Every structure is written in structure tokens, then in C-alpha cells.
Amino acid sequence: MLRSVIIAAVVNVFLPVNDALSLNMTKNLKVVVSSNNYPESGLQILREHFTVIKSPNTHFGEEGAVNNMELLKYVPGASALVWITHYPITKELLDAAGPQLKMVATVSAGYNHCNVPELKARGIKLANTPNVLSSAVAEIAVGLIIGTARRFTENLENVRRGEWILDFDKGLGQDIRGSTVGIIGLGGIGQATVKRLSGFEVGKFLYTGHREKPEAKALNAEFTSLDNLLKQSDFVVLSVPLTDETRHMINSTTLGKMKKNAILINVGRGDLVDQDALYEALKNNDIYAAGLDVTTPEPLPKDHKLLSLPNLFVLPHIGSATVRTRNDMAVLAANNVVNGLTGKPLITPVLP
Ligand code: DGY
């Protein structure tokens, strides 16, 4: 017995850190999963390596402080947090977790709810789950384009009221064929949207962002300024992350630059759009329609003024909500935690 203890001690002293950690030593590390609806596929990976504490509650959405307070109970002593919610990662939460916290894995592409400067200052790694959800979100962008261009909200309401419009010249929508589609943010989701739309005989794809993207050439997408994109596009698709720079980038001024027949699609974050300005633009028919998968707040109260508009098509943030995509996100987040806590590079780092 004494001999094996001595051998283990010697082995641990001389083995490289990574190998020593993989000798089941990570089992002592506590990984906290913030919500009980995190898929089993991710849990299995985590359980192989760590002690997993899963919150017994579902935390999803942005309802705020009360539920955040509840999460404070589970985080003390955690080495990693798997964050399957948009509740903010606050200083208070990081304090409650304690100084041993090494990493946060948010099960989302967007990380605007994670206090990045604070994580950075504390040397805590951050990983997100980009790419695996690009096709699912792009499908929703295409769905919103069709739903708004062909006036699904209004038409469905008419059908429900028994008021079918059968006139040859009434209830007409807009064509995607021959249109100009402007993508604000040609990242993974923007690119996947262009790929999916390329079968629709779109006339021209424009995109804008900080810099030209090498992938744009193969997609036949032309780089331009935001102003020019807004002025030329029949469809404007928002697929940028929410940052201080992009918050309310669609406002009364930018809406004023759009064409009367333009349709705004938002699959990024609700706060990219000043919703009061959008309401006015839609009500006054300054633009043709808007399709939103994301709003502020979420959920949007059922008596919200936006929901009174026939030219708004809204979905409850279901961009990544498919069985396969949610599983892929869970697995990617879990593998990021395994890497992060065993000294390997994160697969999809925000803060390496
Ligand atoms: C994301 O991953 O950022 C999607 O919006 C789903 O939360």
C-alpha cells in the first residue's frame, strides 16, 4: 500500500501536467451545469472526467435577477460553469464561484451575456459554440425572409378569421428572385444564409462588416459600406454579435436609409434594433416588413405593441432549436470544458 502511494506520488511529480491530470485526477473538479435541460450527450462527456453538479431547474431566457440569485447556490467551488442560459455572468456570480474557477463554457454562439472584461481580468477562459448552429440559424433567416416577403402573419390571421383574399391583385408579396440581399455580418451564420439563398435566384448579395471576408468571393457577395447596403437592399439580414458598437445599429436614422419595400431580418440579438424606431417604421410603412427571431425582452410580452403589426413576423428565439443542433452545441461545450480543465487549447475560444 505504502509502496503504491509512493509510486503514485513519484509518477505525479515527474509526469507532465496534462498526463497527470488525465490520471483521473480531474474527477475532483466540480463542473456546474446551469440548467436541467442540458442534453445527456454533453453530460456524459462531462461525467467521464468531472464531478458534475446540475441545477435542478430550467434556466433559459433573460428573466433576470431572481433566477440568477438561485444559480448562486450551485456555483461555489466550481472549476467550470456550463452556461445554458442567457442570464448574465456577473461579478457577483464569479465571486460566489470562487478563485478556483478556470473557465466558463456558454452553450451559445452569442456571448454578450458574459462579462468578458471581468472574465479576462480574472484569467478565466471563455468558450462559446459557434459554427455548429450556423445552418440551423440560417434556415430560420430564410424562413423569416419567406414569411415576411409573402406576408405570413397577415395571411394567417385572415385565414383564422375566415377572410380569404382570393383577388388577383390583393395581398401581393415580394419576390426573392432578382432581389438584393444585404448581410450585416458575414460570419458563419451570414455565410450559411447566403449559401441557402443562392438557390432562390437572388440578383445580388451585399455584405458589410469590419473587413472583407475571404469566403465572400466563392459566395459572390460584394463588400460595401453599411450605408450603401441599407440603400440598395431589398432584404437586410442582421447576423452580427451584440456589442457596444452594434447595439441599436438599426435605429430611426438607419431605418430611414432603407428602401420602402425593404424587409429587415434579425437573427442576432434583439438589442441590435431600436424596437421603438422599428415599430414606427413598420406602422408608417417606411419599410415593408420585419422578421425577428430575437427581441428585447425575451419573451416579448403578449401585449407588446410590435405584436399588433401585420407586417411583423416574430419567432421566439428558435434559431438553434433543433434536436441535432442543440446536441452539437452541448457536445462542443463539454469538449471545451474537458480541454480547458486539462490544459489543452479550447476548441472554440473567446478567451483562450
Ligand atoms: C446563440 O447561440 O447565440 C443563439 O442565439 C441561441 O442562443
**Exposed/middle/buried for 238, CB within 10 Å: 0-12, 13-18, 19+?**
buried
The set of residues, in sequence order, having a beta carbon less than 8 Å from that of 352 and lying 6+ positions away, is: 125, 345, 346
Sheet holding 51-54, edge to edge: 51-54, 30-33, 78-83, 103-106, 125-127, 349-351
Confidence of residue 62 (pLDDT cuts 50, 70, 90): low
> pTM for this one?
0.91
For residue 321, the ligand 1 atom closest to its alpha carbon is: 6
CA of 72 relative to ligand 1 center, distance in Å: 23
Residue nearest to atom 7 of ligand 1 (CA): 108
Q: What mean pLDDT, rounded, does the chain reach? A: 92
Chain segment 169-223, per-residue pLDDT in tens: 999 999 999 999 999 999 999 999 999 999 999 999 999 999 999 999 999 999 9
Of 133, 295, 329, the residue with max ligand 1 atoms within 8 A of its CB, to mutate for a pocket test, comes to 133
pLDDT at 6 over 50: no
Regarding the beta carbon of 270 and ligand 1, being less than 6 Å apart is answered no
Structural domains of the chain, with CATH: 2-131+324-351 (3.40.50.720), 134-314 (3.40.50.720)
Taking the alpha carbons of 160, 163, 166, 169 in that order, is the dihedral positive or negative? negative
Q: Give the whole-number percent of the chain exceeding pLDDT 70.
A: 91
Chain segment 142-159, per-residue pLDDT in tens: 999 999 999 999 999 999
| pLDDT computed for residue 169 by the predictor | 92
CA of 260 relative to ligand 1 center, distance in Å: 30
Q: Is 317 a catalytic residue?
A: yes
| pLDDT computed for residue 47 by the predictor | 98
Residue 279 contacts residue 306 (beta carbons within 8 Å): yes
| pLDDT computed for residue 203 by the predictor | 98
CA of 266 relative to ligand 1 center, distance in Å: 12
- The one catalytic residue in 49, 59, 86, 317 is 317
Residue nearest to atom 2 of ligand 1 (CA): 108
Average pLDDT on 217-238 reads: 98
Least confident of 14-18, 251-255, 272-276, 285-289: 14-18
pLDDT at 137 over 50: yes
Average pLDDT on 237-264 reads: 98
